[in-house]
């Protein structure tokens, strides 16, 4: 059992995991609050259209930030792979509904579309907060504070600094994959990074085949005996 002092810290806002969850929850609440406003029919069409466009842009940023931080870190672990896969499928549906909301013909239709989207996001956010975030904190190699820092940067329209070379040789074996999958998630189609490892990462390649089938390139730049370098390229967007 952990020492009492540690348990106390973990139960308060001083715990980095608690702080990370709070950042995500606040982002969810802000978005739902904006959507609740759109769900009320308004008589000012121009103002309503402007608010809708702003909301849809914020939602798209949130979907991208979540995918490239929280989902990416969890996608390479057997415990959370299926969960992430289902959440990504749901994200595609959410994005489609956001596009429909953006093209609503009038205020009444806009409010109806917003109500539908509000229900979908409430369920989705609930799963992320009740299932995904606790699972992430339990995964070896995942630093929620770092992920949420990048999450916040992307919500503001920025892009986290990325490395062209990801050297995992000094990282314990069980903690490497979240970092690698997070880096891959932030590649645009055609972009790549070089992975440096102290062994041939065949298990990692199998995980890529399970998680991103047909959407990655794997090129050996150096093949041992003490160092392996593999150029990993995103060849297409995930379905």
Within a domain: 28: yes
Find the domain containing 221 and state its range: 162-234
Domain stops at, among 122, 154, 186: 154
pLDDT, average across residues 214-235: 94
Instruction: Quote the pLDDT of residue 7.
Output: 41
Whether residues 186 and 87 fall in one domain: no
Domain stops at, among 135, 154, 173: 154
Question: pTM of the full predicted structure?
Answer: 0.75
Distance in angstroms between the alpha carbons of the first and the last residue of the chain = 43
Whether residues 110 and 186 fall in one domain: no
Query: Quick one: tokens of 224?
Result: 């041992």
Whether residues 143 and 182 fall in one domain: no
Whether residues 115 and 138 fall in one domain: yes
| pLDDT tens digits, one per residue of 90-138 | 999 999 999 999 998 888 888 999 999 999 999 999 999 999 998 888 8
Within a domain: 61: yes
Angle at the Cα of 186 from the Cα atoms of 236 and 196, rounded to 5 degrees: 95
Within a domain: 190: yes
Whether residues 107 and 141 fall in one domain: yes
Question: Which CA distances in Å does 192 have to 136, 187, 196, 219?
Answer: 25, 7, 13, 10
Whether residues 46 and 17 fall in one domain: yes
Whether residues 102 and 52 fall in one domain: yes
Whether the predicted pLDDT of 216 surpasses 80 = yes
> CATH no. for residue 223?
3.30.110.40
| pLDDT tens digits, one per residue of 49-68 | 778 889 999 999 999 999 98
Within a domain: 39: yes
B/e letters for 139-163, b = 16+ CB within 10 Å, e = fewer, are: bebbbbebbbebbbebbeeeebeee
Within a domain: 26: yes
Whether residues 121 and 24 fall in one domain: yes
Q: How far apart are CA 159 and CA 161, in angstroms?
A: 6
Whether residues 110 and 172 fall in one domain: no
Whether residues 73 and 119 fall in one domain: yes
């Amino acid at each position: 059992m952990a020492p009492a002092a540690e348990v106390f810290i973990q139960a308060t806002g001083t715990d980095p995991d608690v702080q990370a969850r709070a950042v995500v929850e606040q982002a969810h609440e802000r978005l739902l609050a904006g959507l609740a406003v759109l769900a009320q029919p308004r008589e000012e069409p121009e103002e309503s259209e402007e608010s809708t466009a702003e909301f849809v842009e914020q939602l798209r940023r949130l979907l991208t930030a979540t995918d490239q931080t929280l989902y990416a870190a969890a996608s390479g672990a057997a415990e959370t792979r299926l969960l992430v896969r289902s959440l990504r499928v749901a994200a595609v549906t959410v994005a489609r509904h956001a596009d429909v909301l953006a093209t609503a013909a009038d205020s009444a239709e806009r409010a109806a579309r917003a109500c539908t989207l509000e229900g979908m996001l409430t369920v989705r956010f609930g799963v992320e907060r009740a299932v995904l975030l606790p699972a992430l904190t339990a995964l070896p190699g995942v630093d929620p504070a770092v992920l949420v820092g990048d999450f916040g940067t992307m919500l503001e329209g920025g892009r986290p600094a990325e490395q062209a070379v990801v050297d995992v040789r000094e990282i314990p074996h069980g903690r490497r994959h979240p970092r690698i999958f997070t880096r891959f998630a932030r590649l645009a189609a055609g972009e790549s990074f070089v992975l440096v490892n102290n062994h041939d990462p065949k298990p990692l390649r199998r995980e890529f085949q399970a998680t991103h089938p047909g959407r990655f390139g794997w090129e050996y730049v150096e093949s041992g005996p003490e160092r392996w370098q593999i150029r990993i390229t995103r060849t297409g967007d995930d379905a």
